[in-house]
Amino acid sequence: MNAVGQLKTYQLYIDGRWTPAGGDETFPTYNPFTQEPWALVSQASATDVQAAVAAARRAFDSTWRDTSGLERGRLLLRLAELLEENADRMARLESTDNGKVIRETRPQMLFSARIYRFYAGYADKIWGRVIPLDQQNVFDYASYEPLGVVGLITAWNSPMALLANKLPAALAAGNCVVVKPSEHASVTTLEFARLVEQAGFPPGVFNVVTGDGRAGQALIDAGVDKVSFTGSGHTGRKVAAAAGKALVPVIMELGGKSPNMVFADANIDRAVVGALAGIFAATGQTCIAGSRLLVQRPVYDEMVSRLVERAGRIRLGDPLDPETEMGTAANEPQFNLILDFINSAKSEGAELVAGGEAARDGDLARGLFVKPTIFANVRNTMRIAQEEVFGPVLSILPFDTEEEAIAIGNDVRYGLASGIWTNDLNRVHRVSRAIRSGMVWVNTYRASAAQTPFGGVKESGFGRERGEAGLYEFVRTKNVMIDFSDDVRDPFAVRV
């Protein structure tokens, strides 16, 4: 095991400078494949966070709010280029930090760069609108202005992708930011700060403070103008409560328990692949995971059999090996939580048909590996069907009718994503309209694009990321009414 004293130490990035945490407190970040510490990260104090917010406020007032959209777009394009140029290095760092396989982290870096390019194109096109009024000789228009300083709080499962859902929209709109990544995976965000600096952004526009929930609470308390949070519903409630107390508006991108519905008329070959990708990609550690697979009875047995066979062939191993198909749980608490859910499902009577335990063979013994797990004949009232596992655990539920599929799909407190597998176009429209989720995939799953809005309903959160909708989360509307008549509109004038 590496000696902690020999590990690279990351400082905070505030006002364009690398700054030690005020209390000199650090903590190790662990490689979930080896379970060895590989870097030291600084724990920001409340004073550090306040300094970061103050730096962002100065940059906003002195420079960034008056920087042209053309220049903001140019800087974002340069940042996209640098992320593409460093994709391999950043992917290796992220896979080391959270155990996600390199075959997923590298494409995520490139997709993140695509999002930066998308918003770079928007930076000089944030146009207002002229509003026709009932009164004559009155000119009215609404314009969009940046909010000021925005706090961005990201989760550990995909730090760079989650940041890309927030940061380029905030910068394109003219805001300055303070980022607080998860304490379980902070390194790529800190390394990304070097790319921001290299791209030429003015000091203070982009700041990074690291640490546990104390740093997140301090960020809300420091007087930011909005918070965009991605994480669990448990932590999201705390963030929303603290933000509400401070009257700070929030964007909440929380968890999911997404129904992936396979009808008897579907292309089963495609549905099998879609179900596998929906739950076992990213080791199931994604809010959009299709963790509830609803299958119509005529094809139920075939789907279960084929999924069990395919799950047994998924290759686990070193996340940095391009041949590895599924990596580790990202950290030990999550690893233990996944196993707890598996044991709970067994005790409630769900039929275990694949996996169901930690993987300990050979080189896997030292890592936080969980075998791809499938439970059949799951009832929707079971804990495994109602709570977010955030791991490689699939629950398969049978249904008979379209109406029953919709009822089961909606009978959960989450509403982030959903999938429909069918060749019936009328059914596509009926079910898409009836299912209560922010996103619906038809004959595909986990597809994404920079142009499309992303977000959920119910306890999956509120607000939208990506697409045009994501941009307007980071502006406020100002209305201007101009009376150019010669009339004196005196409400106290004597009426004759």
Rounded CA separation 133/35 (Å): 65
Closest to 253 (Cα-Cα) out of 188, 175, 169, 189:
169
8 Å CB contact between 338 and 425: no
Question: How far, in Å, are 221, 370, 397, 442 from residue 431 at the CA level?
Answer: 43, 34, 17, 10
User: 15 Cβ partners below 8 Å, 6+ apart?
Assistant: 51, 52, 55, 58, 59, 203, 204, 207
Question: How far, in Å, are 52, 64, 230 from residue 58 at the CA level?
Answer: 10, 9, 26
How far is C-alpha 65 from the chain's CA centre? 26
Instruction: Based on the residue annotation, tell me whether 459 is a catalytic residue of this protein.
Output: no
Token pair for 334: 């999550």
8 Å CB contact between 321 and 33: no
DSSP letters, 440-490, are EEES--S---TTS-B--EETTEES-BSHHHHHGGGEEEEEEEEE-SS----
Instruction: Based on the residue annotation, tell me whether 253 is a catalytic residue of this protein.
Output: yes
User: 385 Cβ partners below 8 Å, 6+ apart?
Assistant: 257, 292, 378, 379, 395, 397, 412
Rounded CA separation 314/300 (Å): 21
Closest to 179 (Cα-Cα) out of 151, 213, 155:
151
DSSP H or E run through 90: helix 87-98
Q: Which string of b and e fits 3-16 if b means at least 16 CB within 10 Å?
A: eeeebeebbbbbbb
Token pair for 102: 């390199």
Token pair for 390: 């955030």
Task: Give me the catalytic one of 183, 253, 459, 465.
Answer: 253
Task: Give me the catalytic one of 287, 325, 388, 459.
Answer: 287
Rounded CA separation 91/319 (Å): 10
DSSP annotation of 284: G
Rounded CA separation 21/26 (Å): 8
- Pairing relationship of beta strands 439-442 and 457-458 according to DSSP bridges: unpaired
CB atoms within 10 A of CB 98: 31
Token pair for 294: 């609803």
| Helical ranges in 229-289 per DSSP H | 233-245, 268-280
| Active centre residues (catalytic) | 253, 287
